[in-house]
């Protein structure tokens, strides 16, 4: 599928469904190719994807990501094919193993070895029966992949990867592992703020949400950051993982991802007005100008 060069990654849990539909329509009007929606403990990504696809014309909707522990493989496959057929190919399934503290601590489920668990899940999807009308084209799947083994699995068992909270250097690393053909849909947090101190202080509360999650920490260490960088959310950490500055500076970071091998960059704007739940339209408008 054609995801377009740029997408938007956004939590919709703070909006009503009607507000979400209007938001998706505005994102579509700005020319973004794909809208990415996550799954935590709020709205169902399947229901939301269907709603957003039904309220847009050309915009792709992707899950970034659906947690494989929340539904069995056949249910996920049926949802994927139903949404792809319903939208004429505008749905992209992003799957992930999430994190042990969330799976065991929040959901009370048993967290298995990430790569083996994902491999088994994809095999279960492929083996599950489906008796309804198939979509015109086989729907695409990407998986949340950061480390080398999960990236290898993304290239061999799905259509590609959806790395989250990484860097252009990680994008280059991923492309080298995955080869030239796999989709590489990279999330990038952006802050339209040119003052270094203000930009970094805006970034830190966002980074703190993810700071203790082991899958991200391990990847940041692979990227050359230190334990102190991560624990202190140092300037180096922020500058490595966030794109901040004026529109041209952020566009340069986007291009770094593309030059490193990304096929798509989905932008997660941090609102410089301090309301982190409110989408910062000025960022999106500036980056599509």
β 242-245/34-37 pair status: unpaired
User: What are the tens digits of pLDDT across the range 94-133?
Assistant: 999 999 999 999 999 999 999 999 999 999 999 999 999 9
**Angle of CA points 262, 96, 162, to nearest 5°:** 5
Token pair in block for residue 144: 């949340």
CA-based end-to-end distance of the chain? 24
Token pair in block for residue 219: 């990847």
pLDDT in tens, the chain (289 residues): 999 999 999 999 999 999 999 999 999 999 999 999 999 999 999 999 999 999 999 999 999 999 999 999 999 999 999 999 999 999 999 999 999 999 999 999 999 999 999 999 999 999 999 999 999 999 999 999 999 999 999 999 999 999 999 999 999 999 999 999 999 999 999 999 999 999 999 999 999 999 999 999 999 999 999 999 999 999 999 999 999 999 999 999 999 999 999 999 999 999 998 777 799 999 999 999 8
Token pair in block for residue 180: 């030239």
DSSP H helix total and E strand total for the chain: 13, 10
CA atoms of 249 and 255, how far apart (whole Å): 10
6-193+245-288, what's its fold?
Answer: TIM Barrel (3.20.20)
**Angle of CA points 31, 39, 84, to nearest 5°:** 55
CA atoms of 273 and 287, how far apart (whole Å): 18
80 with 139: CB under 8 angstroms?
yes
CA atoms of 132 and 115, how far apart (whole Å): 30
Tallying the residues shown for the chain, one arrives at 289
């Amino acid at each position: 599928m054609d995801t377009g060069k740029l997408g938007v990654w956004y939590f919709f849990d703070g909006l009503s469904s009607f507000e979400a539909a209007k938001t998706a329509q505005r994102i579509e009007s700005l020319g973004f190719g794909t809208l990415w929606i996550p799954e935590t403990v709020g709205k169902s990504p399947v229901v939301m994807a269907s709603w957003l696809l039904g309220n847009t014309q050309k915009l792709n909707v992707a899950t970034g990501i659906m947690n494989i522990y929340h539904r069995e493989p056949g249910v996920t496959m049926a949802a994927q094919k139903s949404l792809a057929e319903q939208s004429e190919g505008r749905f992209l399934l992003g799957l992930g193993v999430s994190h042990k503290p969330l799976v065991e601590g929040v959901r009370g489920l048993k967290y298995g070895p990430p790569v083996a668990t994902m491999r088994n899940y994809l095999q279960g999807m492929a083996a599950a029966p489906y008796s309804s009308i198939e979509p015109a084209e086989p729907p695409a799947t990407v998986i949340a992949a950061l480390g080398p083994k999960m990236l290898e699995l993304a290239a061999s068992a799905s259509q590609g990867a959806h790395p989250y909270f990484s860097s252009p250097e990680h994008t280059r690393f991923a492309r080298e592992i995955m080869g030239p053909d796999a989709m590489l849909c990279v999330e990038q947090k952006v802050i339209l703020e040119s003052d270094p101190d203000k930009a970094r202080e805006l970034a830190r509360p966002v980074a703190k949400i993810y700071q203790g999650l082991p899958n991200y920490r391990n990847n940041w260490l692979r990227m050359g950051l230190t334990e102190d960088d991560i624990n202190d959310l140092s300037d180096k950490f922020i500058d490595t993982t966030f794109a901040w500055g004026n529109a041209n500076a952020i566009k340069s970071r986007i291009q770094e991802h593309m030059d490193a091998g990304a096929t798509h960059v989905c932008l997660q704007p941090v609102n410089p007005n301090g309301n982190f739940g409110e989408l910062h339209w000025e960022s999106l408008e500036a980056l599509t100008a």
